[in-house]
Chains A and B, each alone.
Chain A
């Protein structure tokens, strides 16, 4: 449903809160927040290139940590930024995330850069469900 950047959680890095009625929606909000750290006008990102990946971990927090790092990996290795995601999360023996992310190559003429997101951190990272809403706080290393 939403995410918001918070001032007093991290001094040199960037922290945000996210909340959503669905877990996959929460992950999508977090991915959008990471892109907003880097690019001012995220709506200008066109869906030209699709990437599919699967991640399995033993905890939800690690799943989010690895998911965000995967997005950052594509930014560094292929200059890709995304703004559309199709995410499915299943709980079996472990948590498994299937994601199709869509975006395009970064372009200084089109995208206004802010600051580079370098990694997700485990700092204060937890995912909780209160009532019907999933909530998390994430700190991104800058």
Chain B
């Protein structure tokens, strides 16, 4: 796919890291679009992002800018890595396409007291056991056998339900965004189809770019020693990171409401759009509120899913090390989503405004003191998890004051530079697995073609992405985590 040209006259350089497209670029743009990234990053972004982010700038009630973050690439409707904030008291909209179809898809980072040297001899055994305990791949179904009523309770109570009914630690909830529950969820707003698709999938990873990794941290990859110490991170430490979301239920909720919004948005709310995937309705409309409440169920399903997976991880580590998970120091550092709109307050032109910040493939990065941050992290800033490709590692960062500019939003991953279809032609899954093994990474997947699609070379340079958000003072690096083993959905 052709890439952006940093010398293009339509792309005005605002700073080393910010590039702007004027509202005069496209009819209907209400605000400028801003793309964040070093020049090196800008050259890796596919051109369709330009069209998509300027379409987002036409949505009703948008404030300040439509943002594309350094990991952005084209999606549908919003680009992935796209952020937009809508003033809900001025008719601002809510959009299922701006939420992302995998509602509340996100990352969970688990720390341990195990060292890399201790885990090395057991890595194959651990990954093989995790592969069995955490189902992944096409149509995977989970370990839980839920009744419809239990699934409905879970859709209302989120990770809290999972801890109460299936075990876990209440400390996990304290280390989860929103403490693991969307309290506005209303299960009467989701369809029977959503329930049928989701009921067997709790505790599963899914497919595509979803993964579970065992990682390690070295002294040279700790960038903020003070925060690292405070958060319990040390040289040689083993961590576990996983990436997944609300599975089929979340997708069904998004699909159901995309169709509902398409039916009413022009007829009832005079909203005309350039792209059907941007289907929207005013937040305070009947349809907008129904979607918000249904989307809350998707959020809860996702938090519960990650909680159940964490329980499986605890069980596997405990049985292989023959020690309680607590004695292995297994504890959750944080759980954070990158596909969820969030109601937040910001000062705009001297006035406090209530905005619905859509982050599609973008992570919240709250600077210290923001009320959205769970209490234990509030004094310093929110932890941010940026998941990389299976070959290159991931980052843990912390929210910084510069994030005021982006409505507290930062990157969520590396961001693709090559399409899945192209990657499958360019790489062999078997070769990647062999090469990773020779680099000390034991990777397991249900699909060799899926491995090829997820090749490290199909993604941007994650170091450059992390450096871009740090240079913009949106989030700063705490530590880089390198993989030693993983399962790929």
Chain B associates with chain A = yes
A residues with CB within 8 A of B: 5-15, 38-40, 62, 65-66, 69, 72-73, 75-77, 79, 81, 106, 108, 112-116, 118-125, 139, 141-142
Q: CB within 8 A of B259: which of A7, A13, A62? A: A62
| Chain A residue at minimum C-beta to C-beta distance from B259 | A62
Q: CB within 8 A of B416: which of A11, A15, A123, A141? A: A11
> In the complex where A11-B416, A15-B421 touch, is A119 in contact with B450 (Cβ < 8 A)?
no
| Chain A residue at minimum C-beta to C-beta distance from B79 | A11
> In the complex where A11-B46, A76-B248 touch, is A108 in contact with B141 (Cβ < 8 A)?
no
Pairwise interchain contact B74-A75, C-beta atoms closer than 8 A: no
Pairwise interchain contact A8-B446, C-beta atoms closer than 8 A: no
Pairwise interchain contact B277-A142, C-beta atoms closer than 8 A: no
Q: Is B435 an interface residue (CB 8 A)?
A: no
Separation of A15 and B196 alpha carbons in the complex (Å): 27
Contacts of A66 in B (CB 8 A): 259
List 25 A-B residue pairs with CB atoms under 8 Å apart, sorted by A's residue number. Answer: A7-B419, A12-B73, A13-B76, A62-B259, A73-B197, A75-B138, A76-B196, A77-B193, A77-B197, A77-B200, A81-B139, A108-B446, A113-B450, A114-B447, A114-B450, A115-B138, A115-B450, A116-B208, A120-B255, A121-B101, A122-B76, A122-B275, A122-B279, A123-B77, A142-B208
> In the complex where A11-B416, A11-B419, A39-B138 touch, is A76 in contact with B447 (Cβ < 8 A)?
no
| Chain B residue at minimum C-beta to C-beta distance from A9 | B419
| Chain A residue at minimum C-beta to C-beta distance from B445 | A113
Pairwise interchain contact A115-B453, C-beta atoms closer than 8 A: yes
CB neighbors of A among B433-489 (8 A): 446-447, 449-450, 453, 489
Pairwise interchain contact A118-B102, C-beta atoms closer than 8 A: yes
How many whole Å from A19's CB to the nearest CB in chain B?
Answer: 18
Separation of A11 and B196 alpha carbons in the complex (Å): 29
Pairwise interchain contact A73-B420, C-beta atoms closer than 8 A: no
Q: Is B206 an interface residue (CB 8 A)?
A: yes
| Chain B residue at minimum C-beta to C-beta distance from A116 | B207
Q: CB within 8 A of A12: which of B75, B247, B277? A: B75
Pairwise interchain contact A75-B139, C-beta atoms closer than 8 A: yes
Q: CB within 8 A of B76: which of A72, A112, A121? A: A121
Pairwise interchain contact A115-B447, C-beta atoms closer than 8 A: yes
Pairwise interchain contact A13-B201, C-beta atoms closer than 8 A: no
Separation of A119 and B489 alpha carbons in the complex (Å): 17
Contacts A8-B1, A73-B196, A114-B447 known; list 15 others, CB within 8 Å.
A7-B421, A7-B422, A9-B419, A14-B421, A73-B197, A75-B139, A76-B197, A77-B248, A81-B139, A112-B447, A115-B208, A115-B449, A123-B77, A124-B76, A142-B420
Separation of A126 and B207 alpha carbons in the complex (Å): 27
CB neighbors of A among B411-442 (8 A): 416, 418-422, 425
Contacts of B28 in A (CB 8 A): none
| Chain A residue at minimum C-beta to C-beta distance from B198 | A76
Contacts of A106 in B (CB 8 A): 138-139
Pairwise interchain contact A119-B425, C-beta atoms closer than 8 A: no
How many whole Å from B427's CB to the nearest CB in chain A?
Answer: 13
**Sorted from nearest, which 6 A-B pairs have the closest CB atoms?**
A123-B76, A116-B207, A76-B248, A122-B276, A77-B196, A76-B197
